Every structure is written in C-alpha cells, then in structure tokens.
C-alpha cells in the first residue's frame, strides 16, 4: 500500500478491511474468533481490540506462510477446538456473512474434512489453482508459482477461505513442510493430506467472484470500494430510496435510510448517518454521523455529528459542525455555520450567520448577518435566546448573554447585556445625514459626477 497505515486498516465503505472481516465472521455466529497479527501488529492489534475486545489475538512473529499462521492461531487457544474451523482473511472486504454461512452449511451437510471456497476467474494469474480428477473430485490446490503450464490454464481458483474439521486441521497443520517455491508452510497443502488419508474434500463454487477478491494496493482498494458502493446503493434503492445518480452517490456500510428519501447527485452519507423517511438530501452534500429526521431537506451542506429534526431544512451552503441540533420544522439557511448549538422547534437562522455555543428557543428568528461572539480569547461562553424572539440583522451577541422570551433587537445591535423578556434592545444611535458631503470631500470622482444632477435638482427646488 506504500503507507504508514497497515494494509487491513485502510477503509472502504466507512469501515477498515479488518472490521469488514470481523463483522462477517461474528455474524456467522463463531463461538471463538482468533485474529493472527504479524506485520504492523501494533496498529492492527489495537484496532482489533477497539472493535471487538473478545477476539483472541495470536502473534505470528515470523511470516512463514498461511499454514504457519493457522498453526499459530490454534496454539493461541487453550484447547483444540471442536466442530468446524473457518479460515478467512483480513483483506477480502466484500466477503459476506451469508456466503460464509452457506459455505459452512455445505461443509457440514456433506460431512467433509475440508471445503474450499472457490471461484472461476477470467484471469487466474497469481491464484492457487483447484485441481480435480477425472470424476471432478478435488485432489489438490496448486499455488501459482508451483503450478505447471497445464495447471495454470485452470480458471477455478482457491480463495484461501476454508471450512475445515477442527481435529483434522490440528493434525494436518503439524505435518506441513516448506518443500515449495516460496519455502513457506502452505495451508493449501492440507488438501493433499486429506486426499492421501482418504478424507472427503470438496469445493463450494461462488459465482460472485468479487467476494473472493483481495486488496494488495490502492488501485485494488478503489476498485473494491466502488463495487461495494454499487452494491450499497442498489440495496437502498430496492428498499425504496430514490438515488438520482448512483455513480456520484457514496453511502457507507453503517448508514441507514428511510423509504421515499431522495438522494441527489454528489451526496456522500458517511459513518453512522441515519436519514428518516421522505427526506431530501443533496445535491452536493456530505454528512458524517448526522441524524436527519423524516421529511427534512438538506441541500449543498457539509455536516458532522449533528441532528436535523423532522421537517427541518438546511442549506444551501450551510455548515453543521459537531453539536449542532436543529429542531422540528426549523431552518438553517444559506451560508450559516452552526456549532455546539441547539435550535428549538421552528427556530430559524436563515442567512449569513455564525451560531456557536448557543441555545435558540422555539419559534425564534435570527436576523441575517448575526454572530454569536462566543470566545473571549481564553474561554468559550454561551448565548441563550428565548422562545419567539426576533433579532435584527447584523447583530452581535457577546457571550455570555441571554435574550429573553419574545424579546426584539434592532438592526446593527451589539448585545453585551441580558435583554429581558418582551424588551427591545438597540445599541446604535440615531442616523446622521450630511448633505453635499461627496461634492465637498470627493470632487471630480465618479460618485460626485453621479450625484451632481440630484444636487442641482435639489438647489432648484429650494430656489422655488
């Protein structure tokens, strides 16, 4: 990956490849999960613990192959497991729990020692090939580097994902050797062991080859991310969500959407964002960990860790920062930034304003160009505006300050002191007009030329 980040921690669909893998095996219902960590294990181990502290971690000090990794995993357990062991990987993020469950059912129903998840690849280069006898029975898996020219023509490949009888797996991994082109302990060699011992071996062929594809560089990561997103958008459209342009709409795996919601082009719904029914999102909107209520509208907006109530409207060109909470039927309008602030039901901040560290009561309207001056250079302070207040345009609220229920403020007011309920606060003086100032102070300018006819007309009127 050419990255300081461990490969399996790179993300697609809002989750790391590691989390996709852990979620799949947990959903299958595994009694115990063992994660084998080796390269970049400090990063990977911390990520495993953060996601699922119940996972047993086994350290592979030397990377001696997949067979060695499984042996390390078995040795990390207090006893030899019973039943079936499922072996999968941290870099096959599209593999689903449904596929793993089907693999396990096939394995147990047929009473096999080993069942291999396989797929037909148009270009099998680099994959281990599935070798079968004349009757179609699986006889071995041959790694690409060890395969003959005839064997390399086989298109059925090993995904590396296996269901194996636990007792046999313990026995077979102890007998692996390094007699191969890479000098490693291949897990795939347990297939030949099972065949020699007369144990049943089979393959579960998966038509959906995307689920078996791994990631080894950022090109492959992007390819799988695009395919995952295609599947995600298709899922939500089948659940009753309208996605106008799936090609420009990105939806993370943990997002939930209600029926009859419409997503317009350029929309990105990330993290744990939830959108209710009948909402409209986009175009050109990015929301991360945002809760959007039924029937709300969010247009050309960037938001994170915020709440938009039912029937509320946001945007265009709004910025919802963490802690922003808009009540039902409220409005955050054009070029408005809101941070760590609560707007009550029906409250509105329609234009060109910054509302930070504030509480706006229900039904209140905040005038255009308003700023809550919440920072004194050392500490943040809160502004509280009561219910059904009306504040004028171009106001500055110097926090901490409270504007009472039903209070009004005049245009251009700087509010430094609390305003009682029902009062009017005005801080600007009376307007002063100086006639003829431009002709005297800016003679010969375009402004003076423009004003000249009006000045002449005024003098004629005065002479009459």
Contact 2, 219 (CB under 8 A): no
**34: which residues sit within 8 A by CB, 6+ positions away?**
55, 56, 57, 58, 73, 76, 77
Contact 358, 375 (CB under 8 A): no
Burial class (CB in 10 A: 0-12, 13-18, 19+), 138: buried
Closest by alpha carbon to 323, among 342, 300, 340? 340
The reply to whether 351 belongs to the active site is yes
Closest by alpha carbon to 159, among 197, 114, 205? 205
Contact 118, 163 (CB under 8 A): no
Measured CA to CA, the distance from residue 171 to residue 161 in angstroms comes to: 19
340-351 per-residue burial string, b: 16 or more CB within 10 A, e: under 16: bbbbbbbbbbbe
Residue 50 DSSP SS3: helix
**List of long-range contacts for 262-270, beta carbons under 8 Å, 24+ apart:** 270/14
Query: Which residue among 51, 144, 171, 351 is the active-site one?
Result: 351
143-155 per-residue burial string, b: 16 or more CB within 10 A, e: under 16: bbebbeeebeebe
Matching residue, tokens 């375009």? 446
Cβ neighbours, 10 Å, residue 307: 19
Residue 426 DSSP SS3: coil
Q: Where are the beta strands (DSSP E) in 55-123?
A: 56-59, 84-87, 114-120
Compute the CA torsion angle 52, 57, 62, 63 (nearest 10 deg).
Answer: -50
Task: Report cis status (omega within 30 of 0) of the bond before 283.
Answer: yes
The enclosing H or E element of 130 equals strand 129-132
Q: Could you write out the DSSP letters of every residue in 351-405?
A: EEEEEEEEEE-TT-EEPTT-EEE-B-SS-B--EEE-TT-EE-TT-EEESSEEE-T
Active site residues: 351
């Amino acid at each position: 990956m050419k990255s300081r980040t461990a490969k399996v921690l790179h993300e697609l669909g809002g989750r790391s490849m590691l989390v996709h893998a852990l979620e799949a095996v947990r959903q299958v219902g595994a009694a115990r999960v063992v994660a084998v960590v080796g390269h970049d294990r400090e990063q990977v181990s911390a990520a495993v613990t953060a996601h699922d502290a119940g996972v047993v971690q086994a350290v592979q000090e030397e990377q001696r192959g997949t067979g060695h990794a499984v042996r390390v995993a078995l040795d990390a357990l207090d006893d030899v497991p019973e039943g079936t062991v499922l072996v999968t990987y941290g870099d096959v993020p599209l593999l689903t729990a449904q596929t793993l469950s089907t693999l396990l059912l096939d394995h147990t129903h047929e009473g096999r020692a080993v069942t291999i998840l396989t797929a037909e690849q148009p270009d099998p280069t680099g994959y281990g090939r599935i070798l079968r006898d004349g009757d179609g029975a699986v006889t071995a898996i041959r790694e690409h580097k060890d395969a003959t020219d005839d064997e390399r023509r086989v298109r059925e490949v090993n995904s590396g994902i296996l269901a194996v009888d636990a007792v046999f797996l313990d026995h077979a991994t102890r007998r692996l050797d390094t007699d191969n082109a890479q000098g490693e302990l291949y897990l795939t060699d347990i297939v030949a062991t099972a065949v020699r011992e007369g144990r049943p071996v089979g393959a579960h062929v998966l038509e959906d080859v995307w689920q078996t594809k791994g990631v080894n560089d950022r090109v492959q990561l992007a390819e799988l991310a695009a395919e995952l997103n295609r599947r995600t958008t298709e899922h939500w459209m089948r659940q009753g969500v309208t996605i106008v342009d799936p090609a420009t709409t990105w939806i993370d795996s943990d997002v939930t959407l209600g029926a009859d919601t419409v997503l317009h082009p350029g929309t990105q719904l990330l993290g744990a964002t939830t959108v209710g029914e009948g909402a409209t999102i986009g175009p050109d909107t990015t929301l991360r960990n945002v809760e959007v209520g039924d029937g709300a509208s969010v247009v050309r907006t960037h938001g994170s860790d915020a709440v938009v109530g039912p029937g509320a409207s946001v945007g265009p060109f709004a910025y919802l920062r963490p802690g922003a909470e808009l009540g039902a039927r409220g409005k955050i309008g054009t070029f408005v930034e809101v941070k760590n602030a609560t707007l009550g039901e029906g409250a509105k901040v329609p234009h060109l304003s910054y509302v930070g560290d504030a509480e706006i009561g229900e039904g209140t309207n905040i005038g255009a160009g308003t700023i809550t001056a919440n920072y004194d250079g050392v500490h943040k302070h809160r502004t509280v505006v009561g219910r059904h207040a009306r504040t004028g345009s171009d106001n500055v609220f110097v926090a901490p300050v409270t504007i009472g229920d039903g209070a009004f403020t005049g245009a251009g007011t700087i509010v430094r002191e609390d305003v009682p309920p029902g009062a009017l606060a005005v801080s600007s003086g009376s307007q002063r007009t100086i006639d003829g100032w431009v002709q005297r102070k800016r003679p010969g300018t375009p402004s003076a030329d423009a004003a000249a006819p009006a000045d002449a007309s005024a003098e004629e009127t005065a002479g009459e």
